[in-house]
């Protein structure tokens, strides 16, 4: 789309051309005594170009032919030289600044050649021909005006392309942001539900098995199911609170977020202090879990702590769901003492594990995405040094922690692990 594709700017230019052509020709008539005085026919011929500019520029060939033809009749009839030529030049500029670029350029320069030929023909038919230098000067000014208009058109086209590219980039960023947000929420909900429902399934199986033989143990399993489901609801509420909180802030409501989200925080705040709860849930089905947390790891930033929590959560979920025959699992969270600093999470078990040919599920994919989002790496596969029958599975995540290292000899069972054992 060109700068003059809309009618309003063309109408403004037409008014300017009318003033220049009519008033300029009236003034030129006093300086050219041999020229024919202006009359109604002359005024009608002068108004052809402004009218053509407003109405016929979308049809450029017809517009140029009508404008150049009118000024040709004007000059051959003996009316004054000079300002009358402003009309067709303005039409050529209007053609150059509207419509498709290549077509506009071809028609405008062809029209300039036609205008020059018309002026030469009129000069040959009139006795009061202007000096040759004057005609050459007018031709030069016409070329300059068209070159300037062409440069303006090219610049406008580049600006329009840049704006279109910016809009496309912005739209793509918005689509990517929406997709990333959906993925993040899906990952959070998957982690919460997969872990909690897996624990509930195990505890429900224990309760059904012991319902007749040991009602007290069955009652304990049901109590654990209720506690696990309550915790799962709290975690889901926390995840959804992020979405609701962001929407409320976008709407300009920043007050009392907790009351609107049912007391849920606006962002999940999982940290290493919650690891013993994951261990207790995993041990509900008879699995023995050892938890070792480096004391230095308690200073992890919130984002890294959240990644560690989710890796441990999903790994223990996979142990319960896929490690058939597993009797024990080990969870270790260590801080690498030598630079570059890093936190290393390992979760291993002695179960049968998944077949090597099986495709990774959503849980493993989500763990990998979380670890890679903080610049880390994740390896998951059969534990090294196994029995050779496919028993044992190891998940190892290494997440960089720049500028932080632990002192030698601090790795060991932390207070978190001790608290886990005291609550058994």
For residue 339, what is the domain's CATH number?
A: 3.30.565.10
Q: How many domains does the chain have?
A: 2
Task: Please work out, in degrees rounded to the nearest 5, the angle formed at the alpha carbon of residue 355 by the alpha carbons of 351 and 356.
Answer: 115
User: Which residue range is the domain that position 342 belongs to?
Assistant: 274-280+288-424
Among 86, 104, 130, identify where a domain stops: 130
What's the confidence (pLDDT) of residue 298? 84
What's the confidence (pLDDT) of residue 361? 63
| Radius of gyration of the CA atoms of the chain, in A | 41
Higher pLDDT, 2 or 149: 149
CA distance 391 to 83: 97
pLDDT in tens, 83-132: 889 989 999 998 888 888 888 889 989 999 999 999 999 888 888 888 88
Closest by Cα among 122, 120, 65, 121 to 92:
65
* pLDDT-derived band at 404, boundaries 50, 70, 90: low
Q: For residue 199, is it within any domain?
A: no
Are the beta carbons of 252 and 287 closer than 8 angstroms?
no
Whether 387 shows a pLDDT value over 50: the answer reads no
* pLDDT-derived band at 157, boundaries 50, 70, 90: confident
Phi/psi at 293 (5° precision): -125, 125
CA distance 270 to 305: 7
Q: For residue 261, is it within any domain?
A: no
pLDDT in tens, 3-59: 777 888 888 888 998 999 889 888 888 888 888 888 899 899 999 999 988 887 778
Q: State the chain's mean pLDDT as an integer.
A: 78
Report the relative pairing of strands 377-382 and 393-400 from DSSP bridges.
Answer: antiparallel
Whether 346 shows a pLDDT value over 90: the answer reads yes
What's the confidence (pLDDT) of residue 158? 87
What's the confidence (pLDDT) of residue 420? 40
CA distance 124 to 143: 22
Q: Which residues pair with 397 in a beta bridge?
A: 345, 378
Q: For residue 154, is it within any domain?
A: no
Q: For residue 412, is it within any domain?
A: yes
Strands of 328-335's sheet, edge to edge?
A: 288-293, 328-335, 342-349, 393-400, 377-382
pLDDT in tens, 231-253: 777 777 766 666 665 555 445 44
Among 81, 110, 130, identify where a domain stops: 130
Q: For residue 15, is it within any domain?
A: yes
Q: For residue 404, is it within any domain?
A: yes
Q: For residue 144, is it within any domain?
A: no
Whether 265 shows a pLDDT value over 90: the answer reads no
Whether 396 shows a pLDDT value over 90: the answer reads yes
pLDDT in tens, 177-198: 887 777 777 766 766 666 667 6
Among 87, 105, 130, identify where a domain stops: 130
Higher pLDDT, 372 or 353: 372
Please tell me what DSSP assigns to residue 270. Answer: -
pTM of this structure: 0.48
What's the confidence (pLDDT) of residue 246? 53
Q: For residue 410, is it within any domain?
A: yes
Share of the chain above pLDDT 90, in %: 15
List, as own/partner pairs, every contact residues 189-192 make where C-beta atoms lie below 8 angstroms and the sequence separation is at least 24, other chains included.
189/236, 189/239, 190/362, 190/363, 190/366, 191/310, 191/313, 191/314, 191/363, 191/366, 192/232, 192/235, 192/236, 192/239
């Amino acid at each position: 789309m060109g700068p003059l594709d809309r009618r309003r700017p063309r109408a403004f230019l037409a008014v300017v051309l009318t003033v220049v052509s009519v008033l300029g020709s009236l003034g030129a008539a006093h300086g050219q005594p041999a020229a024919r005085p202006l009359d109604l026919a002359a005024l009608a011929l002068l108004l052809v170009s402004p009218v053509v500019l407003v109405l016929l520029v979308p049809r450029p060939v017809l517009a140029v032919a009508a404008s150049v033809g009118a000024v040709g009749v004007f000059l051959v009839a003996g009316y004054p030289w000079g300002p009358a030529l402003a009309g067709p030049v303005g039409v050529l500029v209007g053609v150059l600044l509207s419509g498709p670029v290549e077509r506009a350029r071809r028609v405008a320069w062809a029209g300039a050649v036609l205008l020059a030929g018309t002026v030469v023909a009129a000069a040959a038919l009139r006795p009061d021909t202007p000096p040759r230098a004057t005609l050459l000067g007018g031709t030069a000014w016409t070329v300059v005006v068209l070159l300037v208009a062409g440069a303006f058109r090219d610049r406008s086209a580049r600006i329009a392309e840049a704006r279109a590219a910016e809009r496309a980039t912005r739209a793509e960023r918005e689509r990517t942001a929406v997709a990333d947000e959906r993925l993040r929420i899906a990952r959070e909900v998957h982690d919460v539900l997969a872990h909690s429902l897996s624990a509930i399934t195990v505890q429900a199986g224990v309760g059904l098995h012991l319902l007749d033989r040991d009602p007290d143990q069955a009652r304990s399993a049901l109590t654990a199911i209720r506690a696990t489901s309550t915790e799962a609801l709290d975690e889901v509420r926390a995840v959804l609170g992020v979405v609701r909180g962001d929407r409320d802030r976008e709407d300009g409501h920043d007050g009392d977020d907790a009351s609107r989200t049912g007391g849920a925080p606006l962002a999940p705040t999982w940290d290493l202090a919650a690891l013993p709860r994951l261990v207790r849930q995993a041990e509900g089905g008879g699995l023995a879990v050892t938890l070792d947390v480096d004391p230095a790891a308690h200073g992890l930033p919130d984002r890294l702590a959240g990644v560690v929590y989710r890796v441990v959560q999903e790994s223990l979920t996979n142990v319960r769901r896929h490690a058939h025959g597993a009797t024990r699992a080990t969870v270790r969270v260590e801080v690498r003492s030598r630079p570059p600093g890093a936190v290393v999470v390992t979760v291993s078990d002695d179960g049968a594990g998944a077949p090597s040919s099986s495709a990774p599920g959503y849980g493993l994919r989500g763990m990998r995405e979380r670890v890679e989002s903080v610049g880390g790496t994740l390896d998951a596969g059969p534990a090294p040094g196994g029995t050779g029958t496919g028993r044992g599975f190891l998940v190892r995540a290494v997440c960089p922690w720049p500028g932080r290292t632990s002192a030698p000899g601090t790795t060991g069972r932390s207070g978190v692990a001790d608290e886990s054992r005291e609550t058994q």
